[in-house]
Amino acid sequence: MNKKDQNIHEKFVEYGCNAKEWMRKCVLLLPEIERRRIWKKKGFGSIYEYAAKLAGMSRWQVEDALRILKKIEDKPFLQQGINSVRPVVTIVTKENEKFWADKAREMSKNTLETYVREIRTSTESDNEVIEILMNLKPELVDKLKKLKGHGGWNELMEEFVEMREKQFEQEKPEKVQTNSRHIPTKIKKHVIKRSRRTCEYPGCCKPYEILHHTRRFALYKEHDPDKIFALCKGHERLFHQGLVEDEHKAPGFWRIREVPDKKDPKFKIDLKVMRFRSAAVG
Ligand SMILES: [Zn+2]
CA of 275 to the centre of ligand 1 (A): 22
Residue 279's pLDDT is: 65
Give the distance (Å) from ligand 1 centre to CA of residue 206.
6
Q: How far is CA 96 from the centre of its chain?
A: 20
Rounded to two decimals, the pTM is: 0.62
| Cα of 232 from ligand 1 centre, angstroms | 4
For the cut 50, the answer to whether the pLDDT of residue 15 exceeds it is yes
What is the pLDDT averaged over residues 257-261?
86
pLDDT of residue 172 exceeding 80, the answer is yes
Nearest CA-CA partner of 114 in 192, 196, 198, 205:
205
Span from the CA of 41 to the centroid of ligand 1 (angstroms): 50
145 pLDDT exceeds 60?
A: yes
Residue 125: its pLDDT value, please? Answer: 56
CA nearest to 281, candidates 149, 108, 62: 108
- The lowest-confidence range among 58-67, 68-77, 166-175, 256-265 is 68-77
- Residue 127 Cα to ligand 1 middle (Å): 22
SS3 249: coil
Instruction: Residue 222: name the closest of 168, 171, 182, 172 by CA.
Output: 182
β-strand partners of 212: 229
Q: How far is the CA of 48 from the centre of ligand 1 (A)?
A: 38
Q: Residue 120 and residue 89: Cα distance in Å, rounded?
A: 13
Mean pLDDT of the chain: 87
For residues 143 and 74, the model is more confident at 143
Taking only the tens place, the pLDDT of each residue in 180-231 is: 999 999 999 999 999 999 999 988 989 999 999 999 998 899 999 999 999 9
Give the model's confidence band at 45: pLDDT under 50 very low, under 70 low, under 90 confident, else very high. Answer: very high
pLDDT at 13 > cutoff 60? yes
Expressed in angstroms and rounded, the spacing between residue 205 Cα and the centre of ligand 1 is 7
CA of 145 to the centre of ligand 1 (A): 32
Rounded mean pLDDT, 165-193: 93
Picking from 82-91, 167-176, 183-192, 237-246, which range would have the lowest pLDDT averaged per residue? Answer: 82-91
Is residue 131 within 8 A of residue 112, CB to CB? The reply is: no
Ligand 1: centre distance to CA 56 (Å): 36
Lowest-pLDDT range of 129-133, 188-192, 231-235, 254-258: 129-133
> In angstroms, what is the span from residue 115 Cα to ligand 1's centroid?
10
CA of 90 to the centre of ligand 1 (A): 20
User: What is the per-residue DSSP string for the chain?
Assistant: --HHHHHHHHHHHHHHHHHHHHHHHHHHHHHHHHHTTHHHHTT-SSHHHHHHHHH---HHHHHHHHHHHHHTTT-GGG-S-HHHHGGGTTT--TTTHHHHHHHHHHS-HHHHHHHHHHHHHHTS-SS----------HHHHHHHHHHHTTS-HHHHHHHHHHHHHHHHHHHPPPPEE-S--SPPHHHHHHHHHHHTTB--STT--SBP-EEEESS-HHHH-EE-GGGEEEE-HHHHHHHHTT-EETTTS-GGG-EE-SS--TTSHHHHHHHHHHHHHHHHH-
| pLDDT value, residue 282 | 39
| Domain boundary assignment for the chain | 3-122, 138-281
pLDDT, one tens digit per residue, over 64-117 is 888 888 877 777 777 766 667 778 877 888 788 888 888 888 888 889 889 988
Q: Is the confidence at residue 23, as pLDDT, over 90? A: no
Task: Give me the pLDDT at residue 239, please.
Answer: 92
State in Å: Cα 257 to ligand 1 middle.
16
Ligand 1 centroid, distance to 233 Cα (angstroms): 7
Q: Which residues of 90-99 are buried (b: 16+ CB within 10 A; e: fewer)?
A: eebeeebbeb
Q: Is 29 left (phi over 0), alpha (psi -120 to 50) or beta?
A: alpha
| Model confidence at 276: pLDDT above 80 | no
